[in-house]
Structure formats: structure tokens, C-alpha cells
Amino acid sequence: MMDITILLADNHEVFRDGLRKLISDKSEMKIVAEAGDGRTAVNISKRLSPDIVITDIAMPDMNGIDVTRAILEAMPQTRVIALSCYTDRIFVSGMLQAGASGYISKDCAFEELRKAVDAVCKGQTYLSPKIAEKVFRYG
């Protein structure tokens, strides 16, 4: 199986460091780049064409919704997963409407992120159970 290439976009360096260490232990996933702001995430994505962009919503320069829209406009084959502490329905809906393939909360276990990566690589949409409950409970 070929490596799944991933761009991490989050403005918190310590968070990216931790995630990079967790992902680097998984042989099928490879971090190809990181970005600390939205505009950089879009520019790097256009240059490297990663399989997956894992992005936060609240970032300097461009928020995750605008980042998702810009990346998918340029590279529709790339999959975007939101990994955010914002779990309100408005943010989830905004990301899904922008074309994100997944949305998980930052308070999830790493296994949840792995499930999301696996699902979106198969062309599926992935919402963590906590997120799905909020989205669908209020119709």
C-alpha cells in the first residue's frame, strides 16, 4: 500500500508536533508538510498535492472553511478533514458545505483520526460520533 500523504494545518506548533509524532508511528501515513496559517496551507497544498489536509478552523490569514474551499477548488481530488475544538453545528456545517470529507473534535483519541483518514481515503465522509450527534439531533 502506498503512503497516504498528509498536510497538517494548525496554528499551534505544539499540537502539530504531537500529531506529527503520532502519525509518524503509522507506516501508511506520511506528513509531507505543515502550515501554521491558512494561506500557507493553501499554497503548500497547491505545490505538493497531498492526499489529505488535516486542518483546524480557527487559524490566522484564512480560516479552515476558506482553506477547504480554496484547496478543493484547485485540487478536487484532495480530501480535507477538520480537526477542531469548535464542535458547534455552524462550524461543522460550514466545513461540510465547503467540501470537507471529515470533521472530528480535538478532544478525540488518535484512533478516531485514524478512522477518519481511512474513511475519507475510501471516498466516505467521516463525522466523529460526538459531532454527528450534534449535527443530526437538531435536524
Torsions phi, psi of 26, nearest 5?
Answer: -100, 110
For the chain, 139 residues long, give each residue's pLDDT as a single digit of tens.
579 999 999 999 999 999 999 888 877 899 999 999 999 999 999 999 999 999 999 999 999 999 999 999 999 999 999 999 998 889 999 999 999 999 999 998 899 999 999 999 999 999 998 888 877 775 5
- Half-sphere exposure in the Cβ direction for 70 (13 Å, CA): 17
Domain membership of residue 72 as a residue range: 4-137
**pTM value?**
0.93
Q: Which of 113, 101, 39 is nearest to 70 (CA)?
A: 39
- Half-sphere exposure in the Cβ direction for 33 (13 Å, CA): 18
Number of compact structural domains in the chain:
1
The gap between the terminal CA atoms of the chain, to the nearest Å, is 39
Q: CATH number, domain at 113?
A: 3.40.50.2300
